[in-house]
Amino acid sequence: MQLLLKRDDLIHPDISGNKWRKLKHNLAEAHRLGHTTLLTFGGAFSNHIAATAVGAQLFGFKAIGIIRGEAHYQSNPTLSFAKSHGMLLDFVSREAYAAKDDPQFIEMLVAKYGAIYVIPEGGANELGVLGCSEIMDELPESVDAIATAIGTGTTFLGLLKNSKPHQQTLGIAVLKGFEAFELSVRHDLDEFDGKILHTYHFGGYAKYTAELIQFINDFKGHTGIALDPIYTGKMMYGVFDLITSGYFAKGTTVVALHTGGLQGIAGFNERHGQLVL
């Protein structure tokens, strides 16, 4: 069999991987609608927050980030970076954040900030799915399977929507208890023929083990390619495990999607010690 790595981490140094895929059509839509301010949501270490800050700046939008709790992380690498690219940060409690998709909450934000183009957490909307679906257009039809990390599932859905009948879409859930029906972007789940694996989350979102860290550091040592401990490290660990356990038939061509997210390493190391080399 053959394993290929699709390097979406190389799309842009700061708007990496699937975050660019998900922003692309949202930026175009915001522009089309005449908006000058983008507003989005994320945790204190969010790749999406970092990417949106830079994307907004690059294309001349103002950006507001609604950040979940944790005002004490104000100056962590991710949020400092977002601020340095002009994003205004607004910290809300975990309770308020949980209701972030309620129309009343959005109305409150419009009252506070004026006209805003709202991008959901993680870029998880139909335009995000559309952008991610374009990944498949860049791959040859000889590809039999593609694997991606699953956070909101937006990337997974995009791949699934645009895959050929002979192509398998594999999602490696990086959080515990991810359910297909929780996919934040609703889709015709009757046609849901992709596969979501729940065995490689290492205990839950942003959880890790020494084995995972060792794998990430070894991978970089052998290939020179960095993986992040939240998403791509778990995805690649899973793909390697599937390969060694004989999951894929002989002669299969598998693509692992490097969704980027390397900005998260600094914040991870800041919290846990310099684990990721």
Instruction: Tell which positions 7-36 bind ligand PLP, by CB under 6 A.
Output: 17-19
Site size with ligand PLP, rule: CB under 6 A: 21
Helices 210-223 and 232-244, packing angle to 10 deg: 90
Interatomic CA distance for residues 174 and 218, integer angstroms: 20
Residues 33-62, interacting with ligand PLP (CB under 6 A): 47-48
| Binding to ligand PLP, residues 94-153 (CB under 6 A) | 122, 124, 149-153
Among 40, 52, 78, 155, binds ligand PLP (CB under 6 A): 155
CB-based closest residue to ligand PLP: 261
DSSP secondary structure letter of residue 122: G
When asked if residue 260 is in the footprint of ligand PLP (CB under 6 A), the reply is: yes
Asked if 261 interacts with ligand PLP (CB under 6 A), we say: yes
- Give the nearer residue to ligand PLP in terms of CB position, either 1 or 196: 196
Of 29-37, 77-85, 98-106, 256-264, which segment contacts ligand PLP by CB under 6 A?
Answer: 256-264
Category of 175 on φ-ψ map: left (φ > 0), alpha (ψ -120 to 50) or beta? beta
Out of 167, 259, 267, 268, the residue judged to bind ligand PLP by CB under 6 A:
259
Contact set for ligand PLP, span 203-232 (CB under 6 A): 228, 231-232
**What tokens appear for 277 in the block?**
């080399």
DSSP secondary structure, 133-192, as one string: HHHHHTS-TT--EEEEEESSSHHHHHHHHT--TT-EEEEEE-STT--GGG-SS---GGG-
Name which of 13 and 107 has its Cβ closer to ligand PLP. Answer: 13
Output Rg (C-alpha) for the chain, integer angstroms. 18
Name 148's bridge partners: 171
Are the C-beta atoms of 187 and 205 separated by less than 8 Å? Answer: no
Q: Minimum distance between the CB of residue 11 and ligand PLP, rounded to whole angstroms?
A: 11
Nearest to 42 by CA among 28, 53, 34: 53
Judged by beta carbon, residue 78 or residue 167, the one nearer ligand PLP is 78
68-97 binders of ligand PLP (CB under 6 A): none
Q: Are strands 253-258 and 145-150 parallel, antiparallel or unpaired?
A: parallel
Write down the least CB distance from residue 212 to ligand PLP, Å. 15
Q: Which residues bind ligand PLP (CB under 6 A)?
A: 17-19, 47-48, 122, 124, 149-156, 228, 231-232, 259-261
